[in-house]
Amino acid sequence: MFHDPYFYPSPPLYLNRRPQFPVVDPTTFTHSVTAFQKISTEAGIVLKKFGEPGFAVKLMSAAQAGNKQEVDRLMKSIGVSTPITTTYTPTGILLTIHGNAQGAQCCTLTMFLKWGR
């Protein structure tokens, strides 16, 4: 039997096929983007309030005392409509802002702001 060293057989047909994916529908993504724009605007409102020295002292004092009810009350007093989860430590505060689109949670913005060493 003769063997041609320059003959390379074609790869099997299944190797040439590309996987089939569904048609892209950006509807949900577009709703998520819109919701995220809202929570980022509200994050700006929160940061502006945090920049007020009197508010910062009240928030930090309540957190240092472990008074979660007061921290929650202060956060609600800022007046944003998006739910914000707060967690704090001696070194800072962690904020998680949840956005909703089409009746479901779609996006999250998380910020950690340092306030101690």
Structure confidence at residue 116 as a pLDDT band (50, 70, 90) = confident
pLDDT given at position 117: 84
Residue 22 burial (C-beta neighbours within 10 Å; 0-12, 13-18, 19+): exposed
pLDDT given at position 48: 97
> What are the boundaries of each domain within the chain?
26-114
pLDDT given at position 84: 94
Structure tokens at 86: 């707060």
pLDDT given at position 67: 95
- Evaluate whether 46 touches 95 at the Cβ level (below 8 Å): yes
Distance of CA 73 to the CA centre of its chain: 23
Model confidence at 13: pLDDT above 60: no
Structure tokens at 78: 């800022």
The reported pTM is 0.78
